[in-house]
Structure 1
Amino acid sequence: WVRLLIIFGLSVITIILGLVPVEVMKRLLDIAIPSKDINMVATMIVVVFVTHLILLVVNYIQDLMITRLNLNITKKMQTDFFSKLLHVPFSYHSHYNQGQLMERVIDDTEEITGSAFDLVLSPILDIVSVLITIAYMFIVSSKLTLVALAFVPVFIIMTIPVNRIIRKKYTAIKTKYGDIYNVIQEKLAGLKESVTNNQGEYEKKDLDKQLQSYNDLQYDYERFSIKLQSIMEIIGDFAPYTILLYATYLIIEGSFEVGTLLAFAMLMPRLFGPVQELAGKEFEIQTLRVTAERVFSILHDAKPVKEGKDALEQEGDITFKDVSYRFDQTAVLSGVNLTIPKGKMTAIVGESGVGKTTLLHLLLRTLEAKTGKITIDGKDISDLRTDSLRHNIAIVNQEPFLFSETVLHNIVYGHPELHRTMNDIKSAADITNIHKTIMGLPQGYNTKLDQVSRLSAGQKHRITLARAIVREPKVLLLDDPTSGLDKESVRHLIDALEKLKKKTVVVVTNDINILQKADKVVMLTKKGEKTIVTEGTHKGLIKNAKYRKLLS
């Protein structure tokens, strides 16, 4: 706020100093030249020169302050946006594709802050400028000022009927732009598939079609904008000529001086310029409103996960009591009751879409149960702080994600302080059978992964498993860890799980090798919307026809 007030003060100074040359020219023509006062002429030239120097310095300081303010606001909005995404349930993310989120966090935030000064402070300054100019014009000539003011309402009335049209057109453009982001991102990610399937020409034509659709919307918007601006310019050009005609009549009548006419001619742009800008700002405000709604719909409307107050201090049995979860109108889980024993490996098996992965994310509170409750050692997880809960529960997702950083950074990433001793890190890597592979990389643990292209899916899985283990979590969750792995990678993974026997491990899998090692097996099936939970061991459940079908 202090910077805004300083910028506003500097702007008012420039407005007032801008009137100095007008007054100088008026006095020069009406007094100095007729009286042939050369000293007065020289003084006035010096005054104008000094005024321009002051204006240059003030404008320089003001521009730097505005630039710094815009950069700081952009950074704040982008970090707030990202922070909000970190604290909302994953179900909220599914309403937007990555392209739409990228456009909002990068383009929309920059557009808002880039326009904030022009559309917030600038209109205020335009109004101040108009008021100061009108006050000075009344001093110069009240008659001409009244004629000039008659045109001001015309500019304002012109903008009223176009607001809704602008919003509709610009909303369509922003929506399509987000889609374009996503299309390009998807096509780049699938570049190898396009080439190997000989679909390069199809993808090129499809991209051309998408871009043309966006161009058509943009062209229609620009055409409408140009029409409106042209009408404004016609009115803006007509007004000064009308005033000039009336001033000429007054000079002929002998009730007006040439110097006063010149002063008034210099003042008219200072009146109609800001008025035209204010009318044009309405057009820009409507476009900014669309952009702001898109950003603030996430910053304000997205509801973060409700925080508990307690820390997870001890491990115990994990219990799901009548837990249900719906995604939009679809029942994913309904009335689930099960117990995951402490210090044992529990495997969850079921058909695709039955809600196995959803169970893991409900436990992490990255999704929120609609009904029922989940407890750890009898304590409701909704009463726990999410940072404490997620520090003590580690998850290895089905698709391993590694950052474009060193192997070391990727392994310690899950630890709060992003550091552990090398003995801890190597121990975790040994457990997951990845230490030898890492030491074979060009710079060992300090190898940047964006410089390495030969890591297999299994090796990536084991690095992410090491990331989870190094945190020493109370509970370890693995989501279909053998999916897409070769036999050697599966063997390494099972060996790693064998070393975690005393931990509470929950594995979502249909892999018979892991099911045979599990202390407990939970089979999820559906009967209508109801989720059927069948608990037992692999040996006990193998007699069940549905279970055998899942394994086959």
Structure 2
Amino acid sequence: MTPDTSAKTLYTRLLRHVWPYRAALLVGMLAMIVGGLADAALVKLTGPLVNELFVNRNKDLAILLPLGVVAVFVVSGIASFTAGYMTQWASNKVILDLRGLMFANLLKLPPAHFDDVTTARLVTRFTNDVTNIAAASASVLAVLVRDTVTIVALLGILFYSNWKLTLIAFAVIPPVAIIVRVFGKRLRETSRGSQHAIGGIAAVLDETIANQRVVRIFGGQEYEAGRFREANERIRRFNMKQSVAAGASVPITQLLVAVAIAAIIYFAAQLAFVGATDVGTFVEFIAATGMLLQPLKRLTGVNEHIQKGLAAAESVFGLIDEAPEDDRGTFVLGRAQGAIALENVTLTYRSQTQPALEGISLSIAPGETVALVGPSGGGKSSLIHLLPRFYHPSSGRITIDGHDLESLTLASLRQQIALVSQNVVLFNDTVAANIAYGRLGTTSVADIKRAATAAHAMEFIRTLPQGLQTEIGENGAKLSGGQRQRIAIARALLKDAPILLLDEATSALDTESERAVQAALETLMEGRTTIVIAHRLSTIERADRIVVLASGRIVEEGTHAALLARDGVYAGLHHLQGRSGS
């Protein structure tokens, strides 16, 4: 279902988020009204200033009227400060709420969503897009309220002076409305394109910084510079399209307004020539007419900010409205025994036509260690990604202790599973926080140390500057590969889940690190149902059972010795690795 992105719907949704802070906004709007009236009052003072001081030479008002001008400026300044502070306070609270809603939904999105969206594009929604909403809202509100009040007050002065001449100003309203509508659509389109372009440049930056070692080793600087130039140029093009649309509408509107003002001044001068008005009233009328230009100019330019805000609102609400991960299960599973069964399971990813898994049937007993082997693309990772319900089978079903995975709540299902993968994910925090990730507030230091000791990690943790409280950098940049793996194993030990998934956990390690990690893994695997993916067949020879996957199907199954004796796919893989020295 396509979300409604009409201006009315977006305005209504924004208003709902602004509503809790209506008191602050009301104070701000009242201050804007006072400021607008103060601007008009300054014009109204020009008539008495001219008539009383320069025509009638009234000495009694020689001090009072100038003080009145000062008073008007003081009131205008206080009103401007109050309005600015209150609107910024409210808009920043709205930003806080929207970011909170976006992040809360981000945590609930299915893993498949992140296959299609770049991290950089998501980051720009949190930084650029949501800030554009607030900036547009604050500036638009200030212009709409204060300048509208100023214009209405000035028109009141003009009507009071000469209502016939003032009607000329209304002749420009229909053509101005048409111009605003035509250019508004173009502005919104270019604003939307600009936001996507900013996401593109953020993606290039993110990839280049994250992979800067590869860029240097393979001499990719020029290639990355080219990608950056292209993304940068795309932003420039959209910004220029925006500037053309915004820049064209303002002078056309101003020309129409200027013609109307010129006509008013001409006819007002004719009245002055025949003595139909006094000097003060004439000056007041001309001042009010001239002062109309600036607020009218700001009002005609406000459409650019409105369209930027609407385009940003589309992006922000689009993320908030993304369907969360399917959690229709209602059964809360206690600690599982660890029996796993796949019954004729097929999986086809949304972006593919060929199934990643086809007709998989497999039963794993509690505490059994099953190794998945086979050529790349055979479906090994796809199979283990089904168990925590990162993806749903296209057909067939999976059970844990006889309970269909789809009937379980996600929280209780994932409580049963621990994962250690080749690409260890660590956070820019302390060693202790990474080991106790997700349960730091409820875990004692003693428990963290026990898990680290069992994972053979304390031997290097003790050498770190602050021990368990040492910051390890982004994704554990300050640690070696083997040290990162042992931190991940300690995290899994602390979770103490009955089902363990090991995805290439030792494939990228040197021999010495692999021995330490393998010892830690053996401790971790004790008493747990374990599914291991390994390209190094030597690491899974002692598995209870080996399952060979190829092209999404199980082609062989048995113990290491039995599969070698069969002289099939597994034996061929083993022979190749033995010959290459693996």
Q: CA deviation at 1:466?
A: 0.8
Which residue of 481, 484, 487 maps to 2:505? 481
2:386 counterpart (338, 341, 362): 362
The answer on 1:334 being equivalent to 2:358 is yes
Cα separation, 2, equivalents of 1:388 and 1:244:
77
Q: Which residue of the other structure, out of 397, 400, 406, is the alignment partner of 1:376?
A: 400
The answer to whether 1:447 aligns with 2:445 is no
Q: Determine whether 1:522 maps to 2:540.
A: no
Q: Which residue of 2 aligns with 1:406?
A: 430
Residues 480, 243 of structure 1: CA spacing in aligned structure 2 closer, same or farther, 3 A cutoff?
same
Structure 1 9/387 Cα, relative in aligned 2: closer, same or farther at 3 Å?
A: farther
Question: Quick one: which amino acid aligns to residue 456 of structure 2?
Answer: N
Contact 2:133 2:308 in 1 (8 A): no
Alignment of 1:93 onto 2:87: no
Quote how far apart the aligned CAs of 1:378 are.
2.4
Note the C-alpha offset of 1:68.
2.0
Change (3 A) 1:382 1:12: farther
RMSD over equivalenced CA pairs, Å: 2.8
Within a 5 Å distance, the mapping from 1:239-318 to structure 2 comes to 239-268=260-289, 271-316=292-337, 317-318=339-340
Deviation at 1:315, TM superposition (A): 0.3
Instruction: Pick which of 120-129 and 152-161 moved more.
Output: 120-129
Q: Which amino acid aligns with 1:15?
A: G
Counterpart for residue 437 of structure 1: 460
SS of 1:364 mapped into structure 2: coil
Q: Deviations over 1:457-515 (max 9, x none)?
A: 12211111111211222322222112211222222232223223202222222332342
1:48-87 map, 5 Å: 48-87=69-108
- For the 8 Å contact 1:320–1:339, the answer to whether it is kept is yes
Q: Secondary structure at the match of 1:505?
A: strand
Displacement of 1:544 in angstroms is: 5.6
Q: Does 1:104 align with 2:125?
A: yes
Q: 2:537: which partner in 1? A: 512
Note if contact 1:315-1:377 (Cα within 8 Å) is conserved in structure 2.
Answer: yes
Per-residue CA distance 1:152-184 (angstroms, 9 max, x = gap): 323222223333433443333322221111112
Question: TM-score by structure 2 length?
Answer: 0.86
CA 1:130/1:335 → structure 2, altered by over 3 Å: closer, same or farther?
farther
Task: Report how many aligned residue pairs link the two structures.
Answer: 548
Q: Please give the alpha-carbon distance, in whole angstroms, between the structure 1 residues aligned to 2:287 and 2:332.
A: 71
User: What's the CA shift string for 1:8-56, capped at 9, x where partnerless?
Assistant: 2222222223332222222333456544433244333333322322232
Cα distance, 1:369–1:247 mapped onto 2, change above 3 Å: farther
Whether 2:36 is the aligned partner of 1:15: answer: yes
Counterpart residue type for residue 457 of structure 2: I
1:403 to 1:19, Cα distance in 2 relative to 1, 3 A? same
From 374, 387, 391, the equivalent of 1:350 is 374
Q: Relative to structure 1, is the Cα distance of residues 259 and 326 closer, same or farther in structure 2, using a 3 angstrom cutoff?
A: farther
SS at match of 2:358: strand
Letter of the 2:342 partner, please give it. Answer: F
1:424 pairs with 2:456? no
- Conserved? CA contact 2:33–2:145, under 8 Å: no
Q: Distance in 1 between matches of 2:142 and 2:78?
A: 20
**Which string of whole-angstrom CA distances, capped at 9 and with x for unpartnered residues, describes residues 69-89 of structure 1?**
222222222232222221111
What residue in structure 1 maps to residue 58 of structure 2?
37
**Cα distance, 1:232–1:518 mapped onto 2, change above 3 Å:** same
Q: Structure 1: how far apart are the matches of 2:406 and 2:294? A: 59
Deviation track 1:258-315 (CA, whole Å, cap 9, x = no partner) reads 3223223333355444443333222333333333222222211344333544433120
Q: Which residue of 2 aligns with 1:163?
A: 184
Separation of aligned partners in 1, 2:472 and 2:532: 27
The one-letter amino acid of 1:22's match is V
Q: Which amino acid aligns with 1:76?
A: D
Is 2:225 the counterpart of 1:204?
A: yes
Aligned partner of 1:181 in structure 2 is 202
Percent identity (aligned):
27
Instruction: Classify the secondary structure of the residue corresponding to 2:348.
Output: strand
How many Å separate the matches in 1 of 2:325 and 2:503?
24
Deviates more, 1:102-111 or 1:314-323: 314-323
User: 3-state SS of the aligned residue for 1:478?
Assistant: strand
For 1:298 and 1:99, the matched residues in 2 are separated by 14
Instruction: Give the conservation status (yes or no) of the 8 Å contact 1:414–1:467.
Output: no
Cα distance change of structure 1 residues 122 and 228 upon mapping to structure 2, 3 Å threshold: closer
TM-score, with length taken from structure 1: 0.90
Q: Deviations over 1:416-437 (max 9, x none)?
A: x445223322221222211101
Give the aligned partner of residue 463 of structure 1: 487
SS at match of 1:151: helix
CA shift at 1:337, angstroms? Answer: 2.9
Change (3 A) 1:47 1:321: farther
Structure 1 segments unaligned to the other structure (5+ residues)? none
Cα distance, 1:146 vs. partner?
Answer: 0.3
Amino acid paired to 1:45:
P
Does the CA contact (< 8 Å) of 1:458 and 1:490 recur in 2?
Answer: yes
Task: Give me the whole-angstrom Cα distance separating, in 2, the residues matched to 1:136 and 1:368.
Answer: 70
Aligned residue runs from structure 1 range 143-162, under 5 A: 143-162=164-183
Query: What whole-Å deviation, never above 9, does each CA across 1:297-344 have from its counterpart, x for those lacking one?
Result: 221134433354443312031233343333224232334332332222
Whether the 8 Å contact between 2:188 and 2:307 is mirrored in structure 1 is yes
Write the distance in 2 (CA, Å) between the matches of 1:544 and 1:38.
117
Q: Is the contact between residue 157 and residue 285 of structure 2 (CA under 8 Å) also seen in structure 1?
A: no
- Cα 1:217–1:260, aligned 2, differ >3 Å: closer, same or farther? same
The partner residue of 1:388 within 388, 391, 412 is: 412
